[in-house]
Amino acid sequence: MLRTSYLFSSVLTPHDVKRDGRVMNFASDNWTGAAPEILDAVMRASEGTAPSYGSDDLTKRVEARFCEIFECECTVYLVATGGAANGLSLSVMTPPYGMVLCHEQSHVQMDECAGPEFFTGGAKLLPIAGPGGKLTPVTITKALAGFPERPPHGAPANVLSLTQGTECGTLYSVDALTALCDAAHDAGLSVHMDGARFANAVASTGATPAELSWKAGVDVLCFGGTKNGCLAAEAVIFFNKAMAKDFEFRRKRAGHLWSKMRFIAAQFDAYLTDGLWLKLADHANAMAKRLSDGLCAIEGVEVSYPTEINEVFAVFPDGVAEKLRDNGATFYPWITPGDPADGKMHRLIASFKTTHNDVDDFVDNVRRLL
Amino acid sequence: MLRTSYLFSSVLTPHDVKRDGRVMNFASDNWTGAAPEILDAVMRASEGTAPSYGSDDLTKRVEARFCEIFECECTVYLVATGGAANGLSLSVMTPPYGMVLCHEQSHVQMDECAGPEFFTGGAKLLPIAGPGGKLTPVTITKALAGFPERPPHGAPANVLSLTQGTECGTLYSVDALTALCDAAHDAGLSVHMDGARFANAVASTGATPAELSWKAGVDVLCFGGTKNGCLAAEAVIFFNKAMAKDFEFRRKRAGHLWSKMRFIAAQFDAYLTDGLWLKLADHANAMAKRLSDGLCAIEGVEVSYPTEINEVFAVFPDGVAEKLRDNGATFYPWITPGDPADGKMHRLIASFKTTHNDVDDFVDNVRRLL
Amino acid sequence: MLRTSYLFSSVLTPHDVKRDGRVMNFASDNWTGAAPEILDAVMRASEGTAPSYGSDDLTKRVEARFCEIFECECTVYLVATGGAANGLSLSVMTPPYGMVLCHEQSHVQMDECAGPEFFTGGAKLLPIAGPGGKLTPVTITKALAGFPERPPHGAPANVLSLTQGTECGTLYSVDALTALCDAAHDAGLSVHMDGARFANAVASTGATPAELSWKAGVDVLCFGGTKNGCLAAEAVIFFNKAMAKDFEFRRKRAGHLWSKMRFIAAQFDAYLTDGLWLKLADHANAMAKRLSDGLCAIEGVEVSYPTEINEVFAVFPDGVAEKLRDNGATFYPWITPGDPADGKMHRLIASFKTTHNDVDDFVDNVRRLL
Amino acid sequence: MLRTSYLFSSVLTPHDVKRDGRVMNFASDNWTGAAPEILDAVMRASEGTAPSYGSDDLTKRVEARFCEIFECECTVYLVATGGAANGLSLSVMTPPYGMVLCHEQSHVQMDECAGPEFFTGGAKLLPIAGPGGKLTPVTITKALAGFPERPPHGAPANVLSLTQGTECGTLYSVDALTALCDAAHDAGLSVHMDGARFANAVASTGATPAELSWKAGVDVLCFGGTKNGCLAAEAVIFFNKAMAKDFEFRRKRAGHLWSKMRFIAAQFDAYLTDGLWLKLADHANAMAKRLSDGLCAIEGVEVSYPTEINEVFAVFPDGVAEKLRDNGATFYPWITPGDPADGKMHRLIASFKTTHNDVDDFVDNVRRLL
């Protein structure tokens, strides 16, 4: 038996390939730098002196700004990475002997090196299958039915973790989200949302941030900035404020409280100003849609999931992916549990920096290399 | 949505019901007391004084005895519970950021309140489905394929945990076991065996302890005594002795090093003498087989899995389970992930104390109450 | 620089030395077996079947018995070891980022291989010096003053852990205890008591169990049985019942919930009947006093602390300890932080089994070998 | 008993007070922003696309740059905070049941909210007293002597953690450092250095980075950038490369692997170019010396420790600190274990931004307000 194994560095040509002026880089939205407005804000934040550890005015302003955007009183904590946001938020939502239900393809399950287990002090993650990276009330009910409460034997289920937009580039509608949150709450679970691409979800659905979070029943949202034009900025937003009780201690002891916190706050300050966050996400979504449409039109290429945010998952005929890479395109293979494409899927991500030319060049290349 | 939830105490009449002299107690093999030979050994061990913390002669003798029984040089540590044996052994087999593959119905996954996650410092358990509580090389290969190594993103798979006999009362043959261990080792995983009912497996298969463990490729075995006539005695047996390196520190800090260790050792001393452990297991297995045969002969009653050790899983027509309990029988409903009986299964366990009369009374009652 | 290092097995002749009929074993109260009454109770508990995991009648009876003895409604959990009792109780008294104040020579600090840090998920222990193994309100106030609350930077102090009788064989009076608990509560700390030798403290002081615990302000008591005639039995007693909230989950996931719990309960049932626990402790105390008095009367021998329970700490002239061991005596060197005897102290422990002859033989030997 | 308790926000006027043009801000070196060269580098790093998670060229260049500066082959990992650097590096230097010796006033003990205990999975910190924030071979030997190895009872000592420059603004000379590392290694401990202000130490002593680290015997150095002009940048440098084995997994699961790692790398790229790091530190050191000299010259003001880096600890006559704050000065009270000034000390920190005017204004104010 041979295990599928790859290092990012060995799969990709790890540099920014430009041949004949083409930049066909669809590796990840974290290969981009930061948006100019956000860099400017960081520059400005450096002036003068300011209290450390988040007691500064800029941090307070950003916290208030989140309350406006989400149309509610919420408690906000800033951190630098999505793994920290997810792990720390889960650590205050479940005791160490509890259980978190999540999709089997979710980032918390697949991509954080057992980070949630670390931050929570050993809580269990229960991975649940479902097409398109999505859970439903039925799959949750079934998972819970198979793991009945028998205190103190089974780890008690405490949290449902959802991702919006999902790891498959799909979205939960407001109705779907509401039904899921209702099912979770009815079963005594609180709801965590990994919103690393929450901006893309808001931009795509046109629903308000509130409708896609607390109004649907989300208790805690990890609101991402990094993938959408920030340097390193994520916000943990507690709609259920009681849950935030000891977050500040946990953030500190995990080394996630910045002394110069204003440098995270400044990023969000620009990000949330004049709808920048939605403009950036909207562009990335549009580029992914253009890419998806282009690929769908090519016979022999299969797009695996509906393209609802900035991610496209495609299956190419044998040998084409390699040729694309030889011609300067950059993108990852995508292998997950319950893989519908038997290991042949590739993930293509558009970002705020992706251009029409990048997309069109890629589609042209696919057509040419087929 | 209503969650299936039950407390042991609310499902069962929590006492030893005897009506008209009948004792139809099939609740669990841990509802029994201890075998007389084992109690005698505990009495004798109390005489005189002896060094504490396992430096006593009795403990050393038992460690040597295990080497004889398993026909190899192995390193042995004694603890009082199966949860401790499983958790502690896994904690030296995987780093805290690693991953343990196990059956979705396994005790480590379902019944230890996230104990393995606690002992390992947050390692991930990856539950895998499979009929009859069993895994196969194919299901393992598929699980690994869906969770490719991408250091440091995915938690690296380090351990395959198997249960012998399984939670469904079934057995892995020596060949099946060997194939599983080979698959695990080929993929770089070591093999842990939860042998809470290892005695029943040896008694049932007729294979030697060595054939059912290290000769098949098992690296670490948790050898149970408690369910089979001991008071509280489990042995962690390292066939891969290098893995035992820091076990003694972990056992101590988890509060599982007894100061009067000879009281665990004494149990094993009697248990392993003159084949007592196999006699006790053989009886329990035979009583379960008698029960299973009796139930299979009744139309309308379904036995869910092959009865290969001391556990019978049965589906009764509606209302019959309740009537049986009203008539003094004691047994649990059995609900697990991937439940083939849709929540209607009941588990009946025979022990070293179960008598022919207990079994026949129960079967008669089923027939009568149908 | 050479580190002081010793293994128990290399320091002592690890067997029960009897020369000329003498048994001069003062190694530890855990070198003894169990009291006959307790062994008898274990035998009896094995009869019939009983619900597992502590739902049995015997466990319930013991829980009620503790309420009577402590003259209050308390919540009681049984475990097998003192390390488990201490670690588990601390894990519900402090969050993982909190701090526990304890004596620098305390068992939780020195002898549990960082067990409290493990059970609590990483809480900090703050060791505090003090003569005779004892803390005072002044030393606590000073320690807290040096570790000011600066949330979220410093680990917040949550618990004061006291040992009664102490690791130096000394006692806190009811008044001293009350003053300590008051100081702790005033500072927002709850009080944990390691009562591995609580029986010896009650027997020695004549105070009631209530006076030495909750009436003085103790919130949670780890009530020891193992060192005083049980096989393996400790009770965690929550006078502050709200603190017990999730203890049962933590006990289970740590592998400390016995399936055949009645075998711990039976020990306590006998231990608490007819004052057996106090009789056993009283005897051990008396033997230690006899030993201490004997040694004090010998010029050149120094007894380091007041002998208030069953432990004697003695400094012998150079070479005498070795000669005593050569003549069949068994006892440990005792080295701790803030050691007043510069590494020359030896610990001599009397148990419920120690006889007048054992003591007198030892004293005679010391006199002879000087 | 009243606990000393203060929140930063309640002690200080939490904003940048400028009265009559004066900026007397000596609160902390983390109240400053970032140096212009470093901000510029961050801007430039944002151009184009680059592989994520540290596979980019800039990160590789910085890693190589550290090897040059330290004149050796070392393994380097970048993180954003000092707490992460300390906690993660300790987590690979000790098993979870091990022990780390540190000064009782050290950052790892006092200021990381039990972070080292969290990252290591529950290792024990043993705080050791010593004047001026410094340890000596004698204090270490004594601490180890009082905590003898008794496997598996006492937590085995694995690591000596030193801070250079110390929390008291003092320095270890190369000779002192070498003697400490020798003592640690002789006792089987490896050496961790918290170098949050390592730049200030190098600038002050004139010793090379190598002389102050691996040549003296340091195994792992946490090399700080944040306090000295970076936004958020710390490097963990393994001179003992074998220790780095699983660091990348631990960094990832703790949420400390940046997806856009080049934004940390860029900071170090500028920081390490043309000796910027030493220029910034040298200025801060000089400003502190000027401040210290100014205060020493005032009768009634006491400077508590030698001013060897950028920190001054001063005791003012009663009421003066309050008056200084009323006049616009910003600085913290400083309370630690073993406090030589009985809670009356204040900490004044100079940074790369502090001006001669800032210092002179402050000294003038002290003189005036006395």
* The CATH number fitting domain B8-31+276-369, selected from 3.30.300.30, 3.90.1150.10, 3.30.499.10, 3.40.50.720: 3.90.1150.10
Nearest to A84 among D52, D231, D255 (CB): D255
Percentage helix, strand, coil for chain A under 3-state DSSP, each rounded to 5: 40, 15, 45
Note whether C51 contacts B112, CB cutoff 8 Å.
no
Query: For the whole model, what pTM was predicted?
Result: 0.95
Compare D342 and B364 and report the one with higher pLDDT.
Answer: B364
Distances (CA, A) of B38 to A146, B225, B276: 37, 10, 9
Chain D residue closest in CA terms to B123: D253
Note whether B336 contacts A1, CB cutoff 8 Å.
no
D246 shares contact with chain B (CB less than 8 Å) = yes
For residue D8, the model assigns a pLDDT of: 36
φ, ψ of residue D346 to 5 degrees: the values are -125, 145
- Chains with 3+ CB–CB pairs under 8 A to D are A, B, C
Q: Residue C135: what residue type?
A: L
Note whether B51 contacts C27, CB cutoff 8 Å.
yes
Cα–Cα distance, C281 to B296 (Å, whole number): 58
* The CATH number fitting domain A36-271, selected from 2.60.120.20, 1.10.10.60, 3.90.550.10, 3.40.640.10: 3.40.640.10
Chain B residue closest in CA terms to C250: B113
pLDDT along chain C (370 residues), means of 10: 35 41 83 96 95 95 98 98 98 98 98 98 98 97 92 97 98 98 98 98 98 98 98 98 96 98 98 98 98 97 97 97 95 88 92 96 95
Interface of A with C in 316-335 (CB under 8 A): none
Note whether D83 contacts A115, CB cutoff 8 Å.
no
Compare B16 and B238 and report the one with higher pLDDT.
Answer: B238
Bridge partners, B238 (sequence order): B75, B220
Dihedral angle over CA of C338, C342, C343, C349, nearest 10: -70
B113 shares contact with chain A (CB less than 8 Å) = yes
Note whether C112 contacts B52, CB cutoff 8 Å.
no
Q: Tokens 């003992």 sit at which residue?
A: D240
| B5: pLDDT strictly greater than 50 | no
For residue D2, the model assigns a pLDDT of: 33
How many interface pairs between C and D have CB atoms less than 8 angstroms apart?
A: 140
Chain B residue closest in CA terms to A186: B1
- Topology of domain A8-31+278-369, CATH: Aspartate Aminotransferase, domain 1 (3.90.1150)
Cα–Cα distance, A266 to B331 (Å, whole number): 62
Interface test with C, best of A92, A117, A252 (most C CBs within 10 A): A252
Q: In whole numbers, what is the pLDDT of chain C averaged over residues?
A: 93
For residue C7, the model assigns a pLDDT of: 34
C156 shares contact with chain A (CB less than 8 Å) = yes
Interface of B with A in 166-195 (CB under 8 A): 183, 186-188
Q: How far is C-alpha A113 from the chain's CA centre?
A: 16
Residues of A in contact with B146 (CB under 8 A): 104, 335-339
Note whether D152 contacts B253, CB cutoff 8 Å.
yes
> B236 to chain A nearest CA, in Å?
22
Residues of D in contact with C338 (CB under 8 A): 146
Note whether A187 contacts B1, CB cutoff 8 Å.
yes
Neighbours of B308 (CB within 10 A): 23
Neighbours of B316 (CB within 10 A): 21
φ, ψ of residue C336 to 5 degrees: the values are -140, 170
C153 shares contact with chain A (CB less than 8 Å) = yes
Tokens of B89: 């052994």
For residue D295, the model assigns a pLDDT of: 98
For residue A338, the model assigns a pLDDT of: 82
- Chains with 3+ CB–CB pairs under 8 A to C are A, B, D
Exposure string for D108-126, b = 16+ CB within 10 A, e = fewer: bbbbbbbbbbbbbbbbbbb
Beta strand pairing call for D311-315 and C345-349: unpaired
Q: In whole numbers, what is the pLDDT of chain B averaged over residues?
A: 93
Note whether C1 contacts D188, CB cutoff 8 Å.
no
Interface test with B, best of C10, C43, C49 (most B CBs within 10 A): C49
pLDDT along chain A (370 residues), means of 10: 34 41 83 96 95 95 98 98 98 98 98 98 98 97 92 97 98 98 98 98 98 98 98 98 96 98 98 98 98 97 97 97 95 88 92 96 95
Q: Is the dihedral of CA A332, A335, A341, A344 positive or negative?
A: positive
Neighbours of C365 (CB within 10 A): 18
Note whether D49 contacts A31, CB cutoff 8 Å.
yes
Which among B67, B79, B86 is positioned nearest to B210, based on CA atoms?
Answer: B67
Spans of all domains in chain C: 8-31+276-369, 36-271
Interface test with A, best of C252, C256, C258, C261 (most A CBs within 10 A): C252
Neighbours of B204 (CB within 10 A): 23
Nearest to A97 among C96, C153, C253 (CB): C253
C262 shares contact with chain A (CB less than 8 Å) = no
Nearest to C253 among B45, B80, B113 (CB): B113
For residue C22, the model assigns a pLDDT of: 58
Residues B118, B184 contacting (CB under 8 angstroms): no
D121 shares contact with chain B (CB less than 8 Å) = yes
Which among A129, A185, A115 is positioned nearest to A157, based on CA atoms?
Answer: A185
Q: Complex ipTM, two decimals?
A: 0.94
Neighbours of B36 (CB within 10 A): 12
D6 shares contact with chain C (CB less than 8 Å) = yes
Which among A225, C93, A248, A6 is positioned nearest to D8, based on CA atoms?
Answer: A248
Residues of D in contact with C145 (CB under 8 A): 3-4, 335, 339, 343
DSSP B316: P
Residues of C in contact with B42 (CB under 8 A): 39, 42, 231
pLDDT bracket for residue B338 (50, 70, 90): confident
Nearest to C14 among B23, B51, B81 (CB): B51
> A49 to chain C nearest CA, in Å?
21
Residues B272, B263 contacting (CB under 8 angstroms): no
Nearest to A95 among C122, C153, C246 (CB): C246
A155 shares contact with chain B (CB less than 8 Å) = yes
Note whether B88 contacts C255, CB cutoff 8 Å.
yes
Beta strand pairing call for B99-103 and B124-128: parallel
Cα–Cα distance, D239 to D219 (Å, whole number): 5
> A268 to chain C nearest CA, in Å?
23
Cα–Cα distance, A302 to A295 (Å, whole number): 8
B87 shares contact with chain C (CB less than 8 Å) = yes
Q: Tokens 């064989």 sit at which residue?
A: C169
Intervals of chain D under pLDDT 50 = 1-20
For residue B343, the model assigns a pLDDT of: 84
> A41 to chain C nearest CA, in Å?
27
Tokens of B144: 């690994």
Note whether A155 contacts C96, CB cutoff 8 Å.
no
C30 shares contact with chain D (CB less than 8 Å) = no
ω before A165 within 30° of 0 (cis)? yes
